[in-house]
Chains A and B, each alone.
Chain A
Amino acid sequence: QLQLQESGPRLVKPWETLSLTCTVSGGSISSTSYYWGWIRQPPGEGLEWIGSIYYSGSASYTPSLESRVTMSIDTSKRQFSLKVNSVTAADTAVYYCARQDYYYGSGSFDYWGQGVLVTVSS
């Protein structure tokens, strides 16, 4: 059974960089059928797709965050990562990593991590 687990600091100071890693177990991160994505959810609000990355390192981001976001992938470690720089309180959210399935689901997010609450505060 595929599992994803987010890790990283839960508290980040304003104007610093938020860094999270997602570790994938129980399946291959190098499959040509999947992308790997990050989605966030501010407390009490809805879901926002941040971006997705392919095993090759090719990534796409939502335009509203593109100038501050970088995603990377390390297939040898079965990990992919998210960095958001110059964070403000508006970046406080639960951050989820997820698998984007292009084999059956045409890009739907079929496996999710449990999520990690990252708070931006001094």
Chain B
Amino acid sequence: EIVLTQSPGTLSLSPGERATLSCRTSQSVTTTYLGWYQQKPGQAPRLLIYGASTRATGIPDRFSGSGSGTDFTLTISRLEPEDFAVYYCQQYGTSPYSFGQGTKLQIK
């Protein structure tokens, strides 16, 4: 099983700041098969990024994804109040399709 490790566990920032979230995989993952999700309390996860860098439908361009191999990054260029949530990375190229443990982005 491919293990995904996200860092940091919690990130405290202010609106307007830049957020950088990391996802490392235990084996190389083809960029095609790496995604990022946002989850707010009491809600289902929402797909933000697929293919490591492609924004899903309706996702603002302040969200961007990058990376390759075993190191991937989600960047939020300027935080809006609605961006404070938990973020998960996921690989869906090799079964079982595993998720990272999540990064909680909270208001400083």
Contacts and interface: CB of A to CB of B under 8 A. Distances in A.
A48 B90 contact: no
Interface in B18-77: 32-33, 35, 37, 43-47, 50-51, 56-57
A107 B33 contact: yes
Best-surrounded residue of B88, B90, B92, B93 (most CB of chain A within 10 A) = B92
Contact of A49 (B33, B46, B99): B99
Contacts, number: 71
A63 interface: yes
B100 A46 contact: yes
Given A105-B35, A105-B51, A107-B93, A47 B99 contact: yes
A46 B88 contact: yes
Interface string B91-105: 011011111111000
A112 interface: yes
A71 to B, nearest CB: 14
Given A105-B51, A106-B50, A115 B98 contact: no
Nearest to B32: A106
A74 B103 CA distance: 37
Interface in A24-82: 39, 46-49, 52, 60, 62-64
Nearest to B100: A46
B44 A107 contact: no
B1 interface: yes
A108 B35 contact: yes
B93 to A, nearest CB: 7
Interface of B: 1, 32-33, 35, 37, 43-47, 50-51, 56-57, 88, 90, 92-93, 95-102
Closest 5 CB pairs of A and B: A107-B92, A112-B44, A108-B50, A62-B96, A105-B50
